[in-house]
Structure 1
Amino acid sequence: MQAGCPGYRCPNVEVRSGVVEIKSLMRGRMSREFRMSVLVCISERCVSLFWVMVLRTHVFKKRKAEKMRSDEATEMEKHSLYYIYTALSKPVNLPGIYQFTAMGLLDDRQIDYYNSEQQKKIPTQKWMKEKMQEDYWEEGTQSRKIKEQWFNLNLKNLTKLMNGSESDLHVLQWRTGCEVEEERSEVKFSKGISEFSYDGEDFLSFDDKESQWVASVDAALPTKRKWDSDPNLNKNTKSYLEKKCVDWIDRFSGYTDEKLRNGSLPNVQVFAKRSIRDKTKLNLTCMATGFYPKDVMLIIRKNLISLPEDEVESTGIRPNHDETFQLRKSVEINEDEPAEYGCFVSHRTLETPDIIKWDGKYFGHSLTDTALIAALKVIGIVGGAMLIVVLVVLFLKKKKIIDLKVISSTRRVL
């Protein structure tokens, strides 16, 4: 682009008092214009050629970041295996809630189950029943029985230490397992977790990197010191998290059915409804549902630019009734805003990210519209019902001293 010499004028270039102002127009997808000005000081008598190169750096960086995260989500598969144990200090006489329960979760799907009434470890996936031999279930049943005794003993000791009444309900929970990353059929350890909670509060956890226990509250310090004084316990805990748990994931992943391995595609919808608080605004929602595995990227975009997460409300990833998941994100916008909004979704099952544009329509608050919005949410409600058992045992807030005894002979089969 030539500019800056006397008697010469270029489109969108003005020379004023030795200053060249270069104007640039960026047009939005809905005919909205953006103006950018760059000032350069030069001599009015110059005979040089000037070239202008414009890079939309902000948009480029956003898109590049999205593509990188999308590629990572597609190429790097994540898997997890966790076992969750929950013990109550007394029966609660509610259907489906037992004094002791244990379950295994592979990639957030239950694969086995045990409760204090049946006292038998059973498969909850067809492929687990078909692939795992009878001795696996027998040994697992014995391991769960030992853990049930361990939990019951420590809850009784806790009640005595706090001089509590037998009418009080107390809860002790343990979550242990690991997460791995798989790329090109190579499985790598990512994270290991072994943590205890008491009456719904963090109590004690294992620091895998430092090979030591961490007390979340002062009441857990005696247990931390006792367990750290046993080098074999910490060594075995670290070995299970980093090696045995990873081996189990690798083994189970080879047994899973085709549907589990291939995953489920996300069904993506974008809709809006009038805000209850401000009639001039709309609540725009992006919803992805029916996807598996759990990891997903869902971004609300305005004029092709991702909105910052701190401006967006999220439900977090929630379970559906069919062992898939859903995620909803919402943002409040002006009703007459001429911007283009859409949802950007990336998931392992998608060859390329999916982009769904908002059509500009919205719901009011008539009975019909309210019913429609409720229908879009019903899957999350049904899925949330699966969490009732966990929520029931997490409402207590008491914290007391308990010197937990070490679990013995239970590291091989969970």
Structure 2
Amino acid sequence: MATATFLVALCCFQVASGVIHTHQYYFTATSGIPNFPEFVVVGVVDGQQFGQYDSFTKRMVPKEWLANEGDSDHWNSETENAAGAEAVFKVDIRDLTSRFNQTEGVHTWQRMFGCQWDDESDAVETFDQYGYDGEDFISLDLKNLRYIASNQQAVLTKNKWDNDRSDLDRWKHYYFQRCVELLKMYVQYGSSALGRTVSPEVTLFQKDSGVVCHSTGFYPDGVVITWKRDGEDLHEDVNMGETLPNEDGTFQKRAELTVSPEERKKGHFTCEVEHRSGKPIVKTLIVEDGKNLVGIIIGCVIVIGVVVAIVIMKKKGYNKASRHINLPKRKTRLSRSTKGYSAVLLVPKCSSSFNRRVVQKKEWKKIILFMLMYFRVTLFLSKGGSCATKWNYMLCNLGSCICLYLISFIIPKMDSFISIIKCKLQQSYLSESFNDAIKQKLTCCSI
């Protein structure tokens, strides 16, 4: 429904002054989908959903920001209207499947309608669009009080609805009176939720075919994305995406510029995002020459060298130390010789039992370290440079994965390695310093 999509974007767009408000409903009837509501109504004000009805619940349920607003009569009236539309839409979709000679499969019958109101000029605009199976079917021209058929199958519906003048007058009254009244009421009730502004987060993603400027997390949904080259606006080779909702009530939008990797080096490319939350956000495209990949490879070589060195040291006789090694205590014994008494320093070996329980408890540290470092590096590489292209990105991703895994594997082992070094140093200290001291203490015992 290309026209419907355009109308949604047009009606939801809010100018910088924040004086345009919209109130709209989405009706959807479906057939051929098991365990799914046959009819759903979604109400939206200024891009925020305020209520929902479906054929399972049979109730218009307000969202949290409106749950404590309005009286029960209002929501009961909304429920009655939705239930009446459900009965009509179920009949319509059966008639349409017959008209299109369809006996089975999944089919949809949708309606999008509402009004937009300028709270400064008090101007009102309306829209009313129907679609069948994702294609435009019929729309209402309220100024001329007539319907416009989008295909041959819709002509029969157009003739029938055009002849019902009382129904046309009823919709005219609704759009210019009741729709605007409801819109003003919802705007007043939801002043804190609807009046807030959230700045977008902008990121550039490079691909072989082009560069994507992705803006997300902004509210309200009116945003303008502009690609520029050397300060000049670009209109050709720019694919502007739709404004899509996020789960937290904010929105996202993307604009992809088709430009080759070679062409990116010949100009200064920027993406500018304008939103009512503040000043325009400008992101500059940075094209790197692959140094990131070289750095990762060098780093991995160094890490592998450290691993090899540790393996060689172990083969030479170093024992696997525990993470908690007890420091050696000073122990001595006296032995009798032909020349008298001599002191012998007993230094324990630099090894202890392996505490498996302690290792298991600390194993999560290695996992968290690996995940944090991996996602930090891959996020940096995906933001720009040669690693953001498809094949280089795969190589960078693989290299960073191997490198970071080796690092995360080695770091927990360093505790044991350092403990071995400390133990060996203390052995040396005890052996050298203890001889002189013990000789003085044993002078009286000489024969």
Alignment of 1:12-411 (within 5 A): 73-75=15-17, 77-90=19-32, 92-94=33-35, 97-124=36-63, 126-159=64-97, 165=103, 167-183=104-120, 187-189=122-124, 191-273=125-207, 275=208, 283-308=210-235, 310-331=236-257, 332-335=259-262, 337-350=265-278, 352-361=279-288, 362-364=385-387, 365-367=392-394
Measured in 2, the distance between the counterparts of 1:198 and 1:161 equals 12
| Cα shift at 1:259 | 4.0
Please identify the structure whose Cα radius of gyration is greater: 2
Opposite residue 197 of structure 2, the aligned amino acid is: G
- Describe the SS at the equivalent of 1:367: helix
- Describe the SS at the equivalent of 1:329: strand
Measured in 2, the distance between the counterparts of 1:324 and 1:199 equals 28
- Describe the SS at the equivalent of 1:248: helix
Measured in 1, the distance between the counterparts of 2:55 and 2:240 equals 37
The 8 Å contact of residues 363 and 369 in structure 1, kept in 2 or not, is answered as no
Measured in 2, the distance between the counterparts of 1:325 and 1:210 equals 35
Measured in 1, the distance between the counterparts of 2:17 and 2:60 equals 35
CA distance 1:360–1:214, shift in 2 (3 Å): same
CA distance 1:202–1:285, shift in 2 (3 Å): closer
Residues 74-128 of structure 1: CA deviation (Å, up to 9, x unaligned) = 22543222111111235x224xx3111111011232211111111111112x221
Residues 10-59 of structure 1: CA deviation (Å, up to 9, x unaligned) = xxxxxxxxxxxxxxxxxxxxxxxxxxxxxxxxxxxxxxxxxxxxxxxxxx
Q: Which structure 2 segments of 5+ residues have no match?
A: 1-13, 289-384, 399-447
Provide the aligned length of Structure 1 versus Structure 2.
Answer: 283
Measured in 2, the distance between the counterparts of 1:201 and 1:142 equals 28
| Cα shift at 1:271 | 4.4
Supply the RMSD in Å over aligned alpha carbons: 2.6
Q: Normalised by the size of structure 1, how large is the TM-score?
A: 0.62
Opposite residue 217 of structure 1, the aligned amino acid is: N
Q: Which has the higher helix share?
A: 2
Q: Normalised by the size of structure 2, how large is the TM-score?
A: 0.58
The 8 Å contact of residues 287 and 386 in structure 2, kept in 1 or not, is answered as no
Measured in 2, the distance between the counterparts of 1:208 and 1:344 equals 37
- Describe the SS at the equivalent of 2:84: helix
Opposite residue 228 of structure 1, the aligned amino acid is: D
| Cα shift at 1:161 | 5.5
| Cα shift at 1:188 | 2.5
- Describe the SS at the equivalent of 1:209: coil
CA distance 1:267–1:259, shift in 2 (3 Å): farther
Measured in 1, the distance between the counterparts of 2:113 and 2:277 equals 28
The 8 Å contact of residues 100 and 153 in structure 2, kept in 1 or not, is answered as no
| Cα shift at 1:345 | 1.7
Measured in 2, the distance between the counterparts of 1:210 and 1:198 equals 24
CA distance 1:369–1:136, shift in 2 (3 Å): farther
CA distance 1:340–1:154, shift in 2 (3 Å): closer
- Describe the SS at the equivalent of 2:118: strand
| Cα shift at 1:368 | 7.2
| Cα shift at 1:180 | 2.8
Residues 351-403 of structure 1: CA deviation (Å, up to 9, x unaligned) = x32323334441423337669xxxxxxxxxxxxxxxxxxxxxxxxxxxxxxxx
The 8 Å contact of residues 46 and 194 in structure 2, kept in 1 or not, is answered as no
Measured in 2, the distance between the counterparts of 1:187 and 1:262 equals 22
- Describe the SS at the equivalent of 2:252: strand
The 8 Å contact of residues 290 and 325 in structure 1, kept in 2 or not, is answered as yes
Identity of aligned residues (%): 27
| Cα shift at 1:220 | 1.9
Q: Larger relative CO (CA 8 A, sep 6+): 1 or 2?
A: 1
- Describe the SS at the equivalent of 1:262: coil
Q: Which structure 1 segments of 5+ residues have no match?
A: 1-71, 278-282, 372-414
Measured in 1, the distance between the counterparts of 2:397 and 2:127 equals 42
